[in-house]
Structures are given as structure tokens and as C-alpha cells.
Amino acid sequence: MEIPMGTQGCFSKSLLLSASILVLWMLQGSQAALHIQKIPEQPQKNQDLLLSVQGVPDTFQDFNWYLGEEMYGGTRLFTYIPGIQRPQRDGSAMGQRDIVGFPNGSMLLRRAQPTDSGTYQVAVTINSEWTMKAKTEVQVAEKNKELPSTHLPTNAGILAATIIGSLAAGALLISCIAYLLVTRNWKGQSHRMATTEKPELGPAHDAGDNNIYEVMPSPVLLVSPISDMKSINPAQPLSTLPPLQAGPENHQYQQDLLNPDPAPYCQLVPTS
């Protein structure tokens, strides 16, 4: 029994479509099976970066790492072939980079630089008809990069220090002015008090003579000399002296009255 020609054509097309769907499913499955983990997730400058591949089968022929959106010889970093003495073969994109490959498909980038940022892809060859692929984005940041927000505390601290310093300077200036005013007022009051005070009068002491004298009354009536008669008030009547008789005794008596000797009438006796 022969199959009609139209039926054979439809069967061939169905088989080809099924095979294409199976191949696409296998490719998508292999692509989804691999996963690259970045350690650390946000690498800094001069920091080692490990790209760990997850989902690699136990047996494979080799794997290749690429740096770029496309996978060809110019973007190949290295090829790793397990089972030989020197499994790693550096590619054109390796340059001066220090990269180490591992048998599980992972790679280590030592002392990463900002120029190493980009798209990293890995292709694991299982056999001639099956290759698994995965890719990831790497961004190497500058080390200790300062963000704009980090300046806010510094600016706030400087502003606070400026305000406190200004207040302290103002308080010091006011204190100095108040001190000068109080000192000036105190000096003026002291000067006025010194001018209004009167010196105390103390008893005068004679340094040359410390004796105290006592006046004793004379036993004989003193008669003022004729030279003192002018000081007597003319309105007061003078006492009448007895007439003096001429003779030597009366003359001597008259002379004694005119020139009395003060020694017999008054004595100054010092007391201790």
C-alpha cells in the first residue's frame, strides 16, 4: 500500500516542526539552567571579584568566558579545558587582566578596575550539539566614592560651629564692655568718697617736751607796771595809791613797784 504524495509532504513538515520546537526548547532549557552569581554583588576598585557559575553538568568538554555583548574570538577572555596539564588558554580580550579559571566553570578577577565593567558571558560545551550559556552585568565602582549626601553632616557641623563661635565671641565682647563700665563707675565713686572725706584732727604732740605744768596762785597781789596802764579802760576808775613819802626807803619801794620781780610771785612747777 502506497502513501499518497500529499500525505508524505504533510508528515515531513510536521516532523520538521516538532524537531525545531524540541531544539529550541533544549536551547532555552540549557540557557535557563546556568546562573552566574557575583561575589560581591557591587565590587569596588582593587577588590577581587568571583563569578561563580551555578548549574554546570558533571561532565563537559570545555567552557569559554567572554567580555562583551557578542561571543567571538575578539571578546574571548580565556578557554578552560579540564583534564590537561595547563587547562587555561588566554584569549584576545584578556590583556593585562589577572583572571583565574576553575574546573567548575567559575572565574576569579583579581584587583578589579572600573575599566573591567561590562557584560560577562560564559559558554559551557557539553558536546558538539549542546552548549549552555549564561551572562551577567558587572559594574566596578571607584573605591570610597563619596556621595553628595555624605557632605550634609559635615556642612551641618561647620554651620553649627560657626554659630556657636559667633555667639561665644558676642558674649565675650559684652562681658568686656560690662566689666569696663563697672570698673569705671567704681573708680568714680571711690574718687568722690576720697574728696568728700575730711581729715581727722588729732591732738598735737610736742616731741621736745613731755612735761605737764601746773599754775600755782601767787601769794602777793601783783601790780601791773606803768607801761601796762595804757591798756586799762579809761572808764574804769583807777585805785588811788597811797602817797609816797620822800626818802630812801620810799624810793626803793617805788622802784620795786614799778619793776616787780616775777620770780617770788609765780612759779611753774613741773608734774610727772
Tell me the pLDDT tens digit for each residue of 83-140. Answer: 899 999 999 999 999 999 999 999 999 999 999 999 999 999 999 899 999 999 999 9
The letter for the amino acid at 117 is S
Cis peptide bond upstream of 148, omega within 30: no
Q: Where are the domains of the chain?
A: 35-138
* Confidence (pLDDT) at 26: 55
Contact 67, 119 (CB under 8 A): yes
35-138: what CATH class?
mainly beta
Q: Residue 258's pLDDT band (boundaries 50, 70, 90)? A: confident
Which three three-digit cell numbers place residue 227? 607801761
Query: How far is the C-alpha of 18 from the C-alpha of 153, rounded, in Å?
Result: 66
pLDDT at 109: 97
Band (232; pLDDT cuts 50, 70, 90): very low
- Asked if residue 253 lies in contact with residue 244, where contact means CB atoms within 8 angstroms, the answer is yes
More confident residue, 232 or 218: 218
Confidence label for 271 from pLDDT (cuts 50, 70 and 90) = low
Residue 145 has pLDDT above 80, yes or no: no
Q: 9 vs 16, 19, 75, 236, CA distance in Å?
A: 11, 16, 44, 193
pLDDT one-digit tens code per residue, 13-71: 665 566 555 555 555 444 458 899 999 999 999 999 999 999 999 899 999 999 999 99
Mean pLDDT across the stretch 151-169? Answer: 77
* pTM of the complete model beyond 0.85: no
Nearest Cα residue to 103 out of 56, 67, 138, 135: 56
